[in-house]
Structure 1
Amino acid sequence: MIRYHNFDIVFAEIPDETTLAINLTGCPNRCPGCHSPHLCGNSGRVLDEEELAALLRVYGRTVTCLCFMGGDADPEGVARLAEFVRREWPGLRTGWYSGRAQLPAGIPIPVFDYVKLGPWIEACGPLTSPTTNQRLYRVGSDGSMEDITGRFRRKAI
């Protein structure tokens, strides 16, 4: 069962998207220096199709993307919710921020438009850092994954 702590509309997680980011709880990764350790516990509201539909009825017209922030304890559940969004809101893009180094086998990658992979390693920095270990991919309809991490980096003026 997937649970979430909170959500917000954000502009920096997915380039060129206005994103409804939902912070999922129950994170099993326990990355040293994690900026959101409160998401390790299995607390919060249940995020099922009914709850997700309620959120999207309120925010769906103001966002271009829905991003699941976490969910590594139940990747199949995250994929099922992304499939639900694809079916019910076909114009809304979907993303998944995972702390895993790679997606588990059997996840239907084309249900996502974006996937971020990589555990938090404080010394490497976030996606904006040139030394980051994390990668953000744009997913093609065929399941191909294009690394777009560089779009986070600012050019010096």
Structure 2
Amino acid sequence: MLHYINTDIVFQEFPDEVTLAINVSGCPCHCPGCHSQFLWADRGHDLTTEALSALIHEAKDTITCVGFMGGDGDPAEVDRLAEHVRQNHEGLKVGWYTGRTAISPLIDQQRFDYIKVGPYLRHLGALDSPRTNQRMYRRCPDGSFEDITSRFWKHQVGTNL
């Protein structure tokens, strides 16, 4: 079972979305320079479908997306929770941030509207850097995924980047 430490309403994790970000604990990645080391230990509240629905209900008038921030220790459970959102909370989009370098074969990608992959590597920067190793994918209407990473890059005034 997955656990979560806290939640927040965020505006930048997934483009054009107001996201209920759920910080999932028990991260096995332990990326050097991680800004969320508090998520390494497997602790917090049980992330059951009932708890997930309660969190969504509390924020339902504000959010357009549910984002699972982590869950790399049990991607099949993240997939199950994404399916729950799809089946029980019509109209909400679903995003997942995994610190792994590849999308787990244990998930059905069609349950997600956004998938961000890649560990944070300080020397390469985060999504806002053209040097980043991280990638943000958005599901297209035909079910394929497009890489929209460059949308996050900070553009310098006076350049054509």
TM-score by length of 2: 0.93
State the shift of 1:87 in Å: 0.4
Report if the CA contact (8 A) 1:2-1:77 is conserved: yes
**Gapped runs of 5+ residues in structure 2?**
none
Spell out the pairing of 1:1-157 with structure 2 (5 A cutoff).
1-140=1-140, 143-157=143-157
State the shift of 1:144 in Å: 1.8
* Rounded Cα–Cα distance in structure 2 between residues aligned with 1:143 and 1:28: 30
Deviations 1:95-131 (A, max 9, x none): 0000011112241001000000011111111100111
* Rounded Cα–Cα distance in structure 1 between residues aligned with 2:63 and 2:17: 8
Tell me: CA distance 1:37–1:108, structure 2 relative to 1, closer, same or farther (3 Å): same
**Gapped runs of 5+ residues in structure 1?**
none
State the shift of 1:12 in Å: 0.9
* Rounded Cα–Cα distance in structure 1 between residues aligned with 2:7 and 2:71: 14
- The residue identity in structure 2 corresponding to 1:19 is T
State the shift of 1:63 in Å: 0.5
Deviates more, 1:146-155 or 1:120-129: 146-155
Report if the CA contact (8 A) 1:97-1:117 is conserved: yes
Identity %: 52
Report if the CA contact (8 A) 2:75-2:106 is conserved: no
TM-score by length of 1: 0.96
State the shift of 1:143 in Å: 4.3
SS in 2 for 1:154: coil
Tell me: CA distance 1:62–1:20, structure 2 relative to 1, closer, same or farther (3 Å): same
Deviations 1:13-38 (A, max 9, x none): 11111111000000000111111111
What CA RMSD, in Å, does the superposition of the two structures yield over aligned residues? 1.1
* Rounded Cα–Cα distance in structure 2 between residues aligned with 1:60 and 1:76: 25
- The residue identity in structure 2 corresponding to 1:39 is L
Q: Which runs of 4+ in 1 moved over 6 A?
A: none
State the shift of 1:154 in Å: 3.2
* Rounded Cα–Cα distance in structure 2 between residues aligned with 1:38 and 1:156: 33
